[in-house]
Structure 1
Amino acid sequence: MEQAIVHVLAMNVGSSSIKFATYDIAGEQARRLHGKLDRVESPGTTLTFVDSVRQQRASRDVGELDHQAAMTLLIEWLALQVGFASLLAVGHRVVSYGDPRLVTDALLEELRRITPYATEHLPSEIGLIERIRARAHAASSGVFRQRFSPGHAACRENPARSSAPYTSMGLTPAAGVPMSTRSGDLDRGLVGFLARTKQMTAAQFHRMVNHESGLLGVSETSADIRDLLDREAHDVRAAEAAALFCYQIKKWIGAYAAALGGLDTLVFAGGIGENAPVIRVRICEGLSFLEIDVDPARNERDEPLISAASGRVAVRIIRTDEEITIAKSVVLLLGAKT
C-alpha cells in the first residue's frame, strides 16, 4: 500500500549532517517522513527520524561514519522505509548558484567542472545524486543554495541600502565566521609564513583551514558546539573556542549594521541559532548600542520573538526548513500542481 503513494524526496547534504524528508505531492504536500544523520565525520553519528504515517519516532547510534558510509546507510534505509518505486522526484541541495534545474549528465559535468570552488561540498553532493539516480527511476533536480549549519555565515537583507556582500563567506566557505572545522577569515600572510617556516604545501594548508581549524582547531577536542558548552567550565580551550565563535559573529553583526545604516531585525536560524540559548545571549551581549536587547525568559524558551520590550530591534528565532523549500521547488520545476 505504501508503494502506491507518490512522494517527493528532499535530500540536504551538509558539512556534518544529511537531512531528508518525503512529501506526499497530493493536496498540501504533507510531510510523511523526515530526519537526519547527525555528527557525520565525527564519533557518535546518529540517525534520527520521525514517521508521521506509522507514528514512529526514533534515534539510534550508527557508529562513526564519513559521508560516503553515511550515504550508503541512508540510501539503504530509505529504500526499506519509503521504497524508491514510490518516488516521483528527488530534490538535492547543491552548493552553487542559479535557479533549480533538472539534473542531467551535462549538469553533472558542469558541477564537476566547478568543484574546485567548493571541494568540501560538491564531491559528496554529486556522489549522492549519482547514487540515487542509479537506484530510483525518478527525476532528480538540483536546488541551488549556499547556507550551512554547522557551517556558519552572517548575512544581511535589503540590498537597496548597501552594496555590501550578502554573506560573510567569500570565494569559499572557509572565509567569514569560524565554523566547526573551518578557520574563518585569516591574514593572507599566513600562507607564505607557513610555507617558509613549516614547509606547508597548498594541499596541507587547504586541509588545515577546512578540516582542522574553527571550533575543532581552537578547542583541540570537538567541532560540535554542544560538546564545547558541556566542557567549557573545566576546559579552557573549549571555553576559548565558544568565546571566539560568539565574538566573531558579533563583529559581523556590527559590520552589517554599519553597512545597512542600522538594523530592524536580527534573526537566529540553523542548528546553533535555533537551539543554543546561551550562544544567542553571548552574541547579543554588548550590542545594546544598536538597541539589541534579549529577554532572558523568552530566550530560554526558544520563543519566536526573544527581544526585550526595551529593545528597538526585533530579535527572532526562525526555524529553518530547507527540505520543504527543496520539495516545493521540485514540484514547481516539474510542472506539478501545488
Structure 2
Amino acid sequence: MAGGLTSTLLCINSGSSSLKFAVYALPVVDQGQCLAEGAVERIGQSVGRLWIQTANTERHEERGHFADPGTALAALFRSLDTLSCPRPAAVGHRVVSGGPRRLEHTRIDADVLQDLRNALAFAPLHLPAEIAAIEAVSASWPEIPQVACFDTAFHRDIPEVAARFPLPRNLWHEGVRKYGFHGLSYEYIVSQLPDAGRGRSIVAHLGNGASLAAIADGRCLDTSMGLTPTGGVIMGTRSGDLDPGVLLYLIEEKGYNGPQLERLLNRLAGMLAISGVSGDVQTLLAQRDKEPHVAQALDIFAYSVRKTIGAYMAVLGGLDRLVFTGGIGEHAAPLRWSICRPLEGLGIRLDPVANTEARRCISREDSPIEVLVIPTNEDLTIARHTQRIAGLA
C-alpha cells in the first residue's frame, strides 16, 4: 500500500461510538500525502464495521463486534498490517479537551495522561474514548511516541473579557472558563484563507457538534462553545446555551440528578428534541416539507447560528469573510441559505446557484462580505503537529 515508503504517521480521532483515522507519509508537507483513511463504526454495538480506503483505491472492509476502543484499535492495527502499511513513526490523537492544565499540543507521557484523566468533567462525552485509544496504542506499540493535539489549543489566548464567566473568582482559578472547541478545524481553515486569517472572519464549523469562532489577525477573539462542547448554538442532540434557571427547575421540580442532566443535555436535546424525529440534518431535510416539528428544528438551528454571526460581527467590528465548514456547513446548502438570507442587510449576500453547487465562493459578486465553503481537514492538522512535536520534521 505504501508504495515503497517506510515512514508514516497515524492520526486518530476517537469518539464514543466511532474511531476515525488517517495514515500520512512522512515528511508531511503542504497538503500532505494521505496513504489511507477510514473508520471503525458502531463501537460497542452488536455489529460494527471497519473500513479502510487507500490512496491507490484499494478498499478493505470487515464487520464484527468491536466491544470498546481497545478492541477497535486492535482490529485496525491488524488490518493495516494486512494492507502492508508500515508501523507508524508516531501517532497523533485529536483530544477534545485537556482541561485547565493542558492548553498546548504536547507529547504524551504519564503526567499528560493523568491530567487527561483529571479533566474528564470538561469533555465527558469525548475524553474516555480518547484516553482509551491512547492506552491501546501504548499497549500495542509502547516504543512509538504519541502526541495529544487539543481542540482547545486554538482558543487558548481568547481575551479574558470573552473567556470569563460571571461567577466568583475562585472558580476561574479552578478552571471554570470558556475553552472553546473544534480548534483543529479552525486552525486548518485559517491556513487555507488567502490572507492567512488576517482579515475579520467568522468560521462556522457546523456538524452534529457545531460552533462558530470570531477570528481577526489569525487569532480567536470569541467562540460559541464554552466550558464544555455542550454550550453555544443548538446542535444535533446537544442543547447549546440554556438559561441556568432551566437546570435549577429540572433539579428542584423534576428531580434530575447529574447523570440524568448530562444525558438530557448531550444526547436527547437539540434538533432531536425539537423535531422528535432525529438529530441528523440530512434526515431532517428530507422530511422538512412534511413534518412541522422537523421544519421548526431546522429553523431554530439556523436562527441560533444566524444570531451568533450577528453577535460576532459586533465582536469584530465588522466582517470581511464568513466561512462554512464541517459536515452541515459543507453539504447542507438549504441550511446555509436559511442562515444567510436574512443577513442581506448586513452585507451577506449569497449566490443561490453557487450555494446549491457548493462552490468555494458562494457569495454574489456585489456582496460586501465574502462567503466561502471550505472542507476542513483536522487529520492534516494533527499530522503537522505530530511530526513537529515528535521531532520527525
TM range (shorter): 0.7 to 0.9
Cα offset, 1:279, TM superposition:
1.1
CA RMSD, Structure 1 to Structure 2 (Å): 2.9
- Name the residue aligned to 2:313: 257
Cα 1:270–1:43 change in 2 (3 A) is farther
- Name the residue aligned to 2:22: 21
Cα 1:70–1:234 change in 2 (3 A) is farther
Hey, what's the Cα distance between the residues in 2 that align with 1:93 and 1:44?
A: 25
- Name the residue aligned to 1:309: 365
Instruction: Tell me if 1:109 matches 2:114.
Output: yes
Query: Counterparts in 2 of 1:92-171, with a 5 A limit?
Result: 92-96=93-97, 97-136=102-141, 137-145=143-151, 146-147=181-182, 149-158=207-216, 166-171=222-227
- Name the residue aligned to 1:56: 58
Hey, what's the Cα distance between the residues in 2 that align with 1:59 and 1:240?
A: 38
- Percent identity between matched residues is 34
| 8 Å Cα contact 2:8/2:23 also seen in 1 | yes
Cα offset, 1:173, TM superposition:
1.4
Cα 1:316–1:27 change in 2 (3 A) is closer
Cα 1:269–1:103 change in 2 (3 A) is same
The CA deviation string for residues 249-276 of structure 1, in whole angstroms up to 9 with x for no partner, is 0000011112212110000011111111
TM-score computed with the length of structure 2 as normaliser: 0.76
Query: Counterparts in 2 of 1:68-83, with a 5 A limit?
Result: 69=68, 72-82=71-81
TM-score computed with the length of structure 1 as normaliser: 0.88
Query: Counterparts in 2 of 1:26-37, with a 5 A limit?
Result: 26=27, 28=29, 29-37=32-40
Hey, what's the Cα distance between the residues in 2 that align with 1:125 and 1:217?
A: 27
Q: Secondary structure at the match of 2:146?
A: strand
Letter in 2 for 1:72: T
Unaligned runs of 5+ in 1: none
| 8 Å Cα contact 2:41/2:48 also seen in 1 | yes
Cα 1:4–1:314 change in 2 (3 A) is closer
Letter in 2 for 1:277: A
Query: Counterparts in 2 of 1:177-256, with a 5 A limit?
Result: 177-256=233-312
Bigger shift: 74-83 or 254-263?
74-83
Hey, what's the Cα distance between the residues in 2 that align with 1:297 and 1:289?
A: 20
Hey, what's the Cα distance between the residues in 1 that align with 2:312 and 2:43?
A: 32
The CA deviation string for residues 199-244 of structure 1, in whole angstroms up to 9 with x for no partner, is 1223211221111101222122222111111122222222221111
Hey, what's the Cα distance between the residues in 2 that align with 1:190 and 1:336?
A: 50
Size of the aligned set, in residue pairs, is 331
Cα offset, 1:128, TM superposition:
1.0
Letter in 1 for 2:111: A
Bigger shift: 20-29 or 87-96?
20-29
| 8 Å Cα contact 1:15/1:150 also seen in 2 | no
| 8 Å Cα contact 1:34/1:49 also seen in 2 | yes
Unaligned runs of 5+ in 2: 152-180, 183-204
| 8 Å Cα contact 2:348/2:367 also seen in 1 | yes
Bigger shift: 36-45 or 315-324?
36-45
Q: Secondary structure at the match of 1:279?
A: helix
Letter in 2 for 1:307: S
The CA deviation string for residues 102-129 of structure 1, in whole angstroms up to 9 with x for no partner, is 1111111011111111111111111111
Letter in 2 for 1:268: F
Hey, what's the Cα distance between the residues in 1 that align with 2:305 and 2:44?
A: 25
- Name the residue aligned to 1:86: 87
Q: 2:347 aligns with which of 291, 299, 317?
A: 291
The CA deviation string for residues 269-324 of structure 1, in whole angstroms up to 9 with x for no partner, is 11111111111111101101111011111112211111011211000011111101
| 8 Å Cα contact 2:8/2:87 also seen in 1 | yes
Cα offset, 1:44, TM superposition:
9.9
Hey, what's the Cα distance between the residues in 1 that align with 2:105 and 2:378?
A: 13
Cα 1:235–1:259 change in 2 (3 A) is same
